Amino acid sequence: MHKVILGSIEVLHELVQFIQQLDDDSYSCSPLPLFNSPIGSHVRHILDIYQALMQSEHNFIDFDLRRRGAEVETKRLVALKELVEIENWLMALDQTQFETVKIVKTEVCISQQNSEKFTSTFGRELCFASSHATHHLALLVAIAKSLNISINGQLGIAPATATFLRKQKQASEKNLTLIT
């Protein structure tokens, strides 16, 4: 399995684990004033990024396509079903398309609608989707904590941070071995 696919599957599994710890009320609750958007809206946003990749046709990815107000924002089971569909799509991906050149469209301004188009590769954009999901997952954990929901596991840790922490642990264990 390609390592970029594995990375996406790992973060999607973390997202499933996170969602399974919630009920529909906490999934769709807006925890004002700390956060404007409920967990479900962030999950929908993560899924929209993957959906844009899944639906990319004619070497064009449109990250401006969003499903705001969709059922996936309020119903955990809908989100969990979509996550399974994305994982199945990832497992079936032809790895030779990772170098396929894509035109990527995305909005770039806050003050007015203004989209820009960039040249990228499918593999790079899939890597972006995984990284983007990881960062949103870290935010989702913070939202859950603001709702007094105890979350099991260390979710939303970036791959580079996980590597750093493993190296720190190995160095610490090595030092303990030298002392004893």
Q: So what's the pLDDT on residue 94?
A: 87
**Domains in the chain: ranges and CATH:** 3-154 (1.20.120.450)
Q: Per-residue DSSP letters for 9-68? A: HHHHHHHHHHHHT--HHHHH---TTT-SS-HHHHHHHHHHHHHHHHT-BTTEEETT---T
Q: So what's the pLDDT on residue 97?
A: 86
Token pair listed for 110 = 């806050």
Q: So what's the pLDDT on residue 52?
A: 96
Cβ(38)–Cβ(27) under 8 Å? yes
Using a cut of 0.85, tell me whether the model's pTM lies above it.
yes
Token pair listed for 170 = 């190995």
Instruction: Divide the 180 residues of the chain into consecutive groups of 10 and give the mean pLDDT of each group.
Output: 92 96 93 91 97 91 89 96 97 89 93 94 96 95 93 86 88 71
Strands 60-62 and 101-107, how do they pair? parallel
